[in-house]
Each structure stands twice: as structure tokens, then as C-alpha cells.
Structure 1
Amino acid sequence: MNPSTGILLKILSVVVFTVMAAIIKLNADEIPAGQQVFFRSFFAIPVILGWLIWRHELSSGLGTKRPINHFYRGFIGTTAMGLNFAALGYLPFPEATALGYTAPLLTVIFAAMFLGEDVRAFRLISVLNGLVGVVIVLLPRLGVTSEGLTTAQTLGAVLVLSGAACSALAQIFIRKLVLEERTSVIVFWFSVTSSILALTTLPFGWVVPAPGTLVLLIVTGLLGGLGQILLTSSYRFAPASVVAPFEYASVILALAIGYLSFGEVPTLTMLVGSAIVIGAGIAIILRERQLGIERTRQRKAMTPQG
């Protein structure tokens, strides 16, 4: 274990994924979401394959025992990706990023509903606090404030929250898959499944991109594959509870990119709501770490000595 390396890899993955999302937003007015999903998924495959070859894991990194489970995970994950990509065309970049962090909060609820995980008062209160933060971010979209309510941005909020719900459901499938499948298998087959599913949107408005746009579309896939490798590698060097909080650095980066690249000035309600969502997410992560430490102590205490 090397926590410093793990944290560095996590931060790099956050930077890569945030830049990828910014490129997707840049092309959102020209390229349909389904087409963007295809490029993001398909051109990630050679990066993932190259990584497996470099690690000498190609033979063991592709075989699966649960193809139907990968399809279900791929279907719900692709839906989440498409909704989130579409939302980027309607919402300011920092706001879309912040609302996307509804997903970890919903994962706690779905884990209790579908996996039977025990959700105690602390996590439940943290989830409720996080949802309060989401509502605060949404206040302009609900017409409660006078910050420029538009139908398009309201639609964007609905899309990103729907995407967050699908992302949370995808995490439930992943939690089941990791019990039997290698991470590399899950990552590879998601990209394959997502590429195939994205092709079904071809009759619904795909366009022939300009050369420069085509290059950017391919770059989103390459960045997506690189980001996934960095993310996966980060957990090899440090526990999830150590590196996970650095995921929220994407909100700060999104604020900078939104202002510098898209001229988006964050509102007070967005900043306050985002801070509450981030605080709730970090609280849940730290609580999970503490519970993990306590469970480890209990197992050691119950292990016969001598």
C-alpha cells in the first residue's frame, strides 16, 4: 500500500474525467448524446486492452462468468451516461457536476433496498443532508429564486438527476459483480456493451462531425479509458476510504473550467448547495471507513489465538 500514490492517481483520474466532460459539453450542441456515448465507450476499448497487455493480464482480464449480469450493468450504466451527457448541453458545467454527486447518496438508499445493507442513523442523516444540498442547487430551476429560470435548464436538472439515479443503480450491479469478477473484466465489458447499445441510437439523429470535432470525440474515448485505468489503479495503492473523498475535487475543477471556458459564473445557491452535497458525501465515506476498521477489530477479536 502506498497512500500517496493512490491519492495522486485518484486526483489525476478526476482531472482526466472532468476534462473529458468539458469536451463533451463543448460538443453538446452539435453532437447527439447517443453518438457521444459511442465515441466515449468505443475508443476507450483500445486503451483498456493496451493496459491489460502491459500488465500481462489480457488472457485473464477478458473472460467472464456472468455475461448477462454485465449486460444489465451495461444497460443501466449506458443509460446513465447518455442522460448525463445530454444534461451537459442544458446546464452550467459546475452545476451539472455538483448534481451528479446525488448518485453516491442514492447508492446508500438503493444498497439498503436491494442488497439488504444496514443503513443506520448517521448515514441516513448524511444522505438527507446531501439531498437538502441538492434541493438548494435546484432552487433556481424550481422557480424559487430569481436567478434566471429557463425551461432548458430545468430539463437539464431532470436529466442529470435521472442519470444520477441510474448511476446509483449501476453501482448496485457493480457491487454484485466484484464478488465474482475482476475489475478489468467489468471495465472492459462495460465499454463493449455501452458501444453496442449506443449504436442503437444511430437512426435518431447522428451527424457527420467536422474533422476537428471528430478528433475531440475520439479524445473523449481515449480520456475515458485513461481515466478508468487511473481510477482503478488508485485503489491498488490505497483503501477506497482514503482516495474516494478526492473525487469531489472535480467540483472545484468544474468551477474553474466553467468560468474560463464557458463564461459560467457560479451562483451563491449553487456554491452553498454543492458544499452541503460534498460534505454529506465525505461524511458517508469517513463513516464507512470507521465501520470498516471496527469490523476488522471484531473479526480479529473473534479469531482463535494460539
Structure 2
Amino acid sequence: MRPGLAIALKLVSVTLFVGMQAIVKAASEVVPAGQAVFFRSFFAIPVILVWLAATGHLRTGLKTAYPVGHAWRGTVGSMAMGLMFAGLAYLPLAEVQAINYAAPLLVVVFAALFLGERLRWFRITAVAMGLTGVLIVLSGRLTMLDEGEAGARAALGAMLVLGSATCAALAQIQIRRMVSSGETISSVVFWFSVTASVLSLVSAPFFPWTYPGVGMTTLLVVAGLIGGVGQICLTSAYRYGDASLVAPIDYASIILAVAIGYVVFAELPTPRMYAGVALVVAAGGLIIWRERKLGIERGRARRGMTPPG
């Protein structure tokens, strides 16, 4: 374990992902979400292939025993990405981040429903607190429905991003299933990019693609490249550090999103958003703290067991 490197890699990944979302948001006025998904996924593939070759995982990254599982994970993951990109056109960058924080909380709920994981009262309370925070953020937009077209657009954006968080949580459940069955993370990363690239083409007849000009096209290619690098940094971070150490760094994204939103898009977060985010971060921190404590207790128990034989 190399905790310092793990933290640095996670910070880099968070920064890259928020930067990628900012590019997609800037392009959202002229580029439909499906087209943005294509750029994000297709141009990440070369980066991922180079990484797999450099780490000696090219064969395992391309080989899979679960094509149907990858198809399901790719479909749900593509929906999550497309819905989030669509929501970026309607909401401030920081609010998109705040609502997306529902995803890890929903993973806890879905893990209990679909994987049979035990849900204790401590975790139930933390999840309820976090989802309350998300509802506080959402309520600021849903109450704008009677404010004309602008209010309706904001409410639509909130629903799109909430749908994205739900799909992202379902994708994480599918990843757990595949990894627990022996599938490698490298194959999950590679085949998701391939699947998302193909599925994004389906959107073209319904939401016609456009040519946004050389400058914006270049930025979208960059978004795909940095998305691939961000995915590699994220995967590597969990290789060098425990999840309980690395996971809390996700919440740095709200700071970056607020800063970029203010400087680039002149967006100012509302007090309601800050209140909701505070609850979500507190809930996530409690879950991570509890998991770390249980992990330490399990480790002590394992060390105290009588060796077999």
C-alpha cells in the first residue's frame, strides 16, 4: 500500500472528471448528450489500451467470460453518462455534482436489494440522512416548476441528473457481480468504453449530431482523453490505498465544481445546495468511517483465529 500515491491519484482523477464535465457543459448548447457520450467514450479507448499494454494487462483487458454482463453494465452506465451530460445543460455544475452524490448512497440500498448484503440500522440511518440532503438540493429546483420555462428546465435537469445517479448505482452493482465472479477491472474499464461508444451512435437519429467547429471538437476530444486518464487514475488509486482512505476524496469534486462554475460559467451555489451537500457529505463520511472500523475489527478477528491444520 502507498497511501500518499493513492490520495494523489484520486485527487487527479476527481480534478480530471470535473474538468471533463465542464467541457461537456460548455458544449451542451450545440452538442447533444449522445454525441458528448461518444467523444467521452471513444477517445478514452486509445488511452486505456496504452495503459493496459504498459501494465501488462492487455490480454486480460480484452478477454472476457461475461459478454452479457458487460452489455448490461455498458447499457446502464451509458444511460448514467448520457443523463448526466443532458442535465449539465440545465443545471449549475456544482448542483450536478451534489445530486450525483446520491449514487454511492443508492449503491448501499441496491446492494441490499439485489446482492443480499445486510443493511444494519447505522447504515440505514446514514443513507436516509444522505438522501435527505439530496432531496434538499432537488427541492430547490422542483419548487421552480411554476416559474415558467426556466423553472421547468431546471426541474428537468434535476430529474435527469437524479436518473443518472440511479443508473450509476445500478452499474456499480453490476460491476460488483462481475468482479466477484472473476472478471478483471481492466476488462470492465475497456469494454464499458467500447459499449458506450457503440450505444451513443443509437442516439444520432433521435438527437441529430452537429459539427460544433474545430475549437469545440478539439475540446470534446480532450474530454475523452482526460476521461480515459481519469479512469486510469481512479482505478490505480484503489490499487495503492484502501477504499476507506480513497473514497472520501470524491467530495473534493464539489469544491472544484463550485470554483469552475463561478469562474467559467458565473454560477453561484444557493444556501439550500450547501445545506444539502453538508448532509450528503456527513452521511458518506459516516458510512466510510463505519466500514473502516468494521474492516479493522474483521482484521483483528482474522489475526486472532486459530490457523487451520
**TM-score, normalising length from structure 1?**
0.96
**Contiguous gaps of at least 5 residues in structure 2:** none
Q: Deviations over 1:93-113 (max 9, x none)?
A: 101111001001111000000
The equivalent of 2:212 in structure 1 is 209
**Aligned pairs, how many?**
306
Q: Deviations over 1:133-192 (max 9, x none)?
A: 112112221328999971100000000001111011001001111121111111000000
Does the CA-based 8 Å contact 1:9-1:230 persist in structure 2? yes
**What is the rounded CA distance, in whole Å, between the counterparts of 1:40 and 1:246 in structure 2?**
23
The equivalent of 1:191 in structure 2 is 193
**What is the rounded CA distance, in whole Å, between the counterparts of 1:22 and 1:165 in structure 2?**
21
In terms of mean alpha carbon deviation, does 175-184 or 72-81 score higher? 175-184
The equivalent of 2:252 in structure 1 is 249
**TM-score, normalising length from structure 2?**
0.95
Q: What secondary structure, in the 3-state scheme, does the structure 1 residue paired with 2:29 have? A: coil
Identity among equivalent positions (%) equals 55
State whether structure 2 residue 134 is matched by structure 1 residue 168. Answer: no
The equivalent of 1:177 in structure 2 is 178
The CA deviation at 1:60 is 2.5
Does the CA-based 8 Å contact 1:140-1:146 persist in structure 2? no
The equivalent of 2:160 in structure 1 is 159
Distance 1:191 1:303, change over 3 A: farther
State whether structure 2 residue 267 is matched by structure 1 residue 264. Answer: yes
In terms of mean alpha carbon deviation, does 123-132 or 284-293 score higher? 284-293
Does the CA-based 8 Å contact 2:95-2:137 persist in structure 1? yes
Q: Deviations over 1:232-286 (max 9, x none)?
A: 1111111111011001100010000011100001111111111111111121112
Does the CA-based 8 Å contact 1:139-1:145 persist in structure 2? no
Does the CA-based 8 Å contact 2:145-2:155 persist in structure 1? no
State whether structure 2 residue 292 is matched by structure 1 residue 297. Answer: no
Partner amino acid, structure 2, of 1:229: I
**Contiguous gaps of at least 5 residues in structure 1:** none
**What is the rounded CA distance, in whole Å, between the counterparts of 1:23 and 1:64 in structure 2?**
33
**What is the rounded CA distance, in whole Å, between the counterparts of 1:112 and 1:184 in structure 2?**
26
The CA deviation at 1:295 is 2.1
The equivalent of 1:61 in structure 2 is 61
The equivalent of 1:74 in structure 2 is 74
**What is the rounded CA distance, in whole Å, between the counterparts of 1:101 and 1:303 in structure 2?**
42
The CA deviation at 1:297 is 2.3
The Cα RMSD (Å) is 1.7
